[in-house]
Chains A and B, each alone.
Chain A
């Protein structure tokens, strides 16, 4: 997905999140707030989220970069830069 747009990445992120927490209304997510906090997802869920992004976008996400995925906005921004690099 090297030519992915922000909208495409957002769609992937929301789809992966929906798979992990299907009971959460995706439209109600505050893009600036911490995802784990507002969706009540634990470390196992979050690891599954990162694995899902890795598989769907085809990029490696170093462990040190995990804090950059904290909110929806920061997550999309980070992934966009990673996809452009790849």
Chain B
């Protein structure tokens, strides 16, 4: 069971898209898994032949549990559980042996012979909240259970608040109160653990908007570009010179990501928020990005996201300009280490070469993790975005 988000602990297999004997290749969708964020299409990260399906539809299993066994075909790549465990505090999958079916626990059974490592404060907090310590996978030193672990689980087991119309939730197959709890847990963890710093700058968007208008005037409606694609592309290119903003904070250390996979914050029509990633943004053209973004938004809103899109984001971009917001000071989505916010482009008076002029101005902000970067690096990053947007034809 892959980790589809920093605070996912369990997932339910809804359906298998493969059967024993099927040949699969990296990237194939093999199962549908239900999480608090909806039903996600789980991809496989190895080539091979499906040997057995270990978990049956309807079964709920913890992150890291083996879902199926696969016999390799000599082109083995990194296994999904191992890959995803590397960016998640969730427990890792047991070692996998090719072509050998392994039995795994369907529920996380506590080992009675193993003494739990719990700090006194965490134990006290668990008693206060009525949390069973044996059901927690500790994320502290040597797997010890921390207060944060206890509070995270307590958040999960709270009864859902009836904040959303049941009719709307049922119609979309989403438990929105559960999604809100997941968001709350991730954001609370972020604010608790990540020492945020915030920077902002203003960007003159006239050149970008003029270029975009001229470009769109030549294009059929099906090929038009939105300004948000230029922003996402500029962020990705700016990250090439500031790699310390692109990656994950794991096990008390920063791991830079080789790929630049930009998570795009998407508000769901029925409520809630999700930030699936567009992969390798720095290597794609604006046309490819536009196509990817339309596809991603449409699938996010119809509940057809893939597991890699949920788990692979290396930075998040949130654009609240359409809501009339001028400046966005966002909360970093752990284990990421940075978030870029864009506000509304508004005509404002600015001084240009000693004269007063009116220009379309965009507020760009950076929320950075001070454990990894600082204001100097963050400032260079925002400056790079600004420079890139002054030459939109090169994006």
Interface size classification for chain B: 20 to 34
B196 → chain A closest CB, angstroms: 26
Q: Is B192 an interface residue (CB 8 A)?
A: no
B215 → chain A closest CB, angstroms: 9
Is the beta-carbon distance between B294 and A60 smaller than 8 angstroms? no
Is the beta-carbon distance between A42 and B322 smaller than 8 angstroms? yes
Q: Is A70 an interface residue (CB 8 A)?
A: no
Is the beta-carbon distance between B221 and A23 smaller than 8 angstroms? no
B222 / chain A contacts, CB cutoff of 8 Å: 51, 54
CA gap between A23 and B322 in the complex, in Å = 20
Is the beta-carbon distance between B269 and A21 smaller than 8 angstroms? yes
CA gap between A23 and B221 in the complex, in Å = 25
Q: Is the interface of B mostly helix, strand, loop or mixed?
A: helix
Q: Is A47 an interface residue (CB 8 A)?
A: yes
Is the beta-carbon distance between A64 and B217 smaller than 8 angstroms? yes
Which residues of B (291-321) have their CB < 8 Å from a CB of A?
A: 293-294, 297-298
Is the beta-carbon distance between A44 and B294 smaller than 8 angstroms? yes
Contact A48:B294 (CB < 8 A) given known A43-B228, A60-B221, A62-B217: yes
Q: Is A12 an interface residue (CB 8 A)?
A: no
A80 → chain B closest CB, angstroms: 18
Q: Is the interface of A mostly helix, strand, loop or mixed?
A: helix
CA gap between A62 and B219 in the complex, in Å = 8
Is the beta-carbon distance between B297 and A23 smaller than 8 angstroms? no
B168 / chain A contacts, CB cutoff of 8 Å: 23
Is the beta-carbon distance between A63 and B294 smaller than 8 angstroms? no
Is the beta-carbon distance between B298 and A47 smaller than 8 angstroms? no
A56 → chain B closest CB, angstroms: 12
CA gap between A25 and B146 in the complex, in Å = 48
Q: Is B201 an interface residue (CB 8 A)?
A: no
B297 → chain A closest CB, angstroms: 5
Which residues of B (206-255) have their CB < 8 Å from a CB of A?
A: 213, 216-217, 219-222, 224, 226-228
Q: Is B270 an interface residue (CB 8 A)?
A: yes
B227 / chain A contacts, CB cutoff of 8 Å: 43
Digitize B88-127: 1 where CB-to-A-CB distance is under 8 Å, 0 elsewhere. Answer: 0000000000000000000000000000000000000000
B224 / chain A contacts, CB cutoff of 8 Å: 47, 63
Is the beta-carbon distance between A23 and B298 smaller than 8 angstroms? no
Digitize A38-55: 1 where CB-to-B-CB distance is under 8 Å, 0 elsewhere. Answer: 001011100110110010
Nearest-neighbor residue (CB-CB) of B228 within chain A:
A43
B269 / chain A contacts, CB cutoff of 8 Å: 21, 23, 40
Q: Is A29 an interface residue (CB 8 A)?
A: no
Is the beta-carbon distance between A23 and B270 smaller than 8 angstroms? yes
A43 / chain B contacts, CB cutoff of 8 Å: 226-228, 322
Digitize B252-289: 1 where CB-to-A-CB distance is under 8 Å, 0 elsewhere. Answer: 00000000000000010110000000000000000000
Q: Is A61 an interface residue (CB 8 A)?
A: yes
B interface residues, Cβ below 8 angstroms from A: 168, 171, 213, 216-217, 219-222, 224, 226-228, 267, 269-270, 293-294, 297-298, 322
Closest A-B pairs by Cβ, 10 of them: A63-B216, A44-B297, A54-B221, A42-B322, A43-B226, A50-B221, A61-B221, A51-B221, A63-B217, A51-B222
Instruction: List, sorted by A's number, 14 A–B pairs whose CB atoms are closer than 8 Å.
Output: A23-B171, A40-B269, A43-B226, A43-B227, A44-B226, A44-B293, A47-B226, A47-B294, A48-B298, A60-B221, A63-B217, A63-B221, A63-B224, A64-B217
